Amino acid sequence: MTLSLPAEASTTTRPFWEAAAAGSLVRPVCGQCGRNFFIPQIACPDCHTEDWTYEQSSGKGVISTFTVVHRAPTDELEPPYVVAVVDLDEGWYMMTNIVDCPHESVRIGQAVEVDFQSRADGIVLPVFRPSGANPS
């Protein structure tokens, strides 16, 4: 995967990782201005309040941009793999991997939905696959 993970989740990000481990995708939503944002941070990037909570996401969206990685930065990653930015239906976006799809078939505007991959170290990562594809 392309995501760099901390050795231990912070109090700010722990609910995100716990939700992923339970097979759920959540995102921060500001209690003042209503903005959906990602990555989790102490304050809303728009109104700067610390009044936000995690809310459930549908996990459905479209690919807004992507790249195919042919030379992995470490031996634990097997190329080729797709790194993409997915625009989620609730109005937020995240960088992720596209799975269950040949890299030659990935397209901007393609409908995708969340899936979850367990790593050997016990961390569960949200990844995305084409809508309607069978989970791996």
Take residue 110 and report the two structure tokens written for it.
């393609």
Q: What is the pLDDT of residue 122?
A: 84
Q: What is the pLDDT of residue 7?
A: 59
Between CA 96 and CA 113 the distance in angstroms is 11
* Cβ count within 10 A of residue 3: 14
Given pLDDT bands bounded at 50, 70 and 90, which one contains residue 5?
low
Given pLDDT bands bounded at 50, 70 and 90, which one contains residue 1?
very low
Q: Mean of the pLDDT values across residues 94-123?
A: 94
Q: What is the pLDDT of residue 40?
A: 94
Q: Give the single-character DSSP code of 120.
A: T
Question: pLDDT tens digits, residue range 37-81?
Answer: 999 999 999 999 999 999 999 999 999 999 999 998 888 778 999
pTM for the whole structure: 0.88
Residues 6+ away with beta carbon under 8 Å from 102: none
Between CA 96 and CA 49 the distance in angstroms is 27
Select from 2.40.110.10, 3.40.50.2000, 2.40.50.140, 2.40.50.840 the CATH code of 14-130. 2.40.50.840
Radius of gyration of the chain (CA): 15
Between CA 94 and CA 7 the distance in angstroms is 21
Between CA 91 and CA 127 the distance in angstroms is 18
Mean of the per-residue pLDDT values for the chain? 91
Q: What is the pLDDT of residue 124?
A: 93
Of all residues in the chain, what percent carry a pLDDT higher than 90? 79
